[in-house]
Amino acid sequence: DAEITQSPRHKITETGRQVTLACHQTWNHNNMFWYRQDLGHGLRLIHYSYGVHDTNKGEVSDGYSVSRSNTEDLPLTLESAASSQTSVYFCASSSGNEQFFGPGTRLTVL
Amino acid sequence: AQSVTQPDIHITVSEGASLELRCNYSYGATPYLFWYVQSPGQGLQLLLKYFSGDTLVQGIKGFEAEFKRSQSSFNLRKPSVHWSDAAEYFCAVEVAGNKLTFGGGTRVLVKP
């Protein structure tokens, strides 16, 4: 079955380190999204991509970057992790109007 | 700018009772509206969506929602909740380019 996976599921890192969160989907969807989930804020869009080599900034993109070298993957990189980036991160993909979400990565920055 | 408000942060309901979750949106154009459910430790699952047409939409797990343009609302309802409905529920509006703006979520607790 087609699916969307995220790794790692849990990550603890230190302030200032570079961290990359992986997102992989097997639906062959063109559109992919990264969100962060924080209490009281719901999910907020970090970056998104409409296809290979396309990337766009979302609402809360500062301190994050993405790259899209193939259809299946959209890794999210925190260039220099900060405590404010402690959160749960969700990746999603879509074809049409419905987005399908991964299981999430819980990131703690100490 | 578009926004979605879910006024209730927590709702506690008895098993078998009815449930209504409120959602208000602010968006200039005709909205595409969604309700998602998130069980503990899980990703988000789509419950239902509204694009156009009949303002009462049916979803999975016995949920329904009604779009009211005059009130800018898209409230979610279930006639009789089950213990398995305990979860967090998110309302969302699609803005240009297939992007979603989410409300802050409502956590539902179900009492036996």
Residue A14 has pLDDT above 90, yes or no: yes
Confidence band for B18, pLDDT divided at 50, 70 and 90: very high
Confidence band for A105, pLDDT divided at 50, 70 and 90: very high
* Cβ-defined contact of A90 to B100 (cutoff 8 Å): no
* Cβ-defined contact of A41 to B99 (cutoff 8 Å): no
Whether the Cβ atoms of residue A21 and residue A76 lie closer than 8 Å to each other: yes
pLDDT at B96: 79
The DSSP result for A36-98, as a single string, is: EEETTTEEEEEEEEEETTEEEE-TT-TTEEE--SSSSB--EEESS--GGG-EEEEEEEESSS-
Average pLDDT of chain A?
Answer: 95
Phi-psi region of A103 (alpha: psi -120 to 50; beta: other; left: phi over 0): alpha
Written as six digits, the tokens of A73 are: 């993957």
CA distance B43 to chain A (A): 4
Q: Would you mind telling me the total number of residues written for chain B in this entry? A: 112
CA distance A23 to chain B (A): 13
* Cβ-defined contact of A103 to B102 (cutoff 8 Å): no
β-strands B106-111, B87-95: how paired?
A: antiparallel
Nearest C-alpha in A relative to B40 = A103
- State how far Cα B79 lies from the chain centre: 14
pLDDT at B42: 84
Q: Can you tell me the distance from the alpha carbon of A82 to that of B49, in angstroms, rounded to the nearest whole number?
A: 36
Higher pLDDT: B3 or A97? It is B3
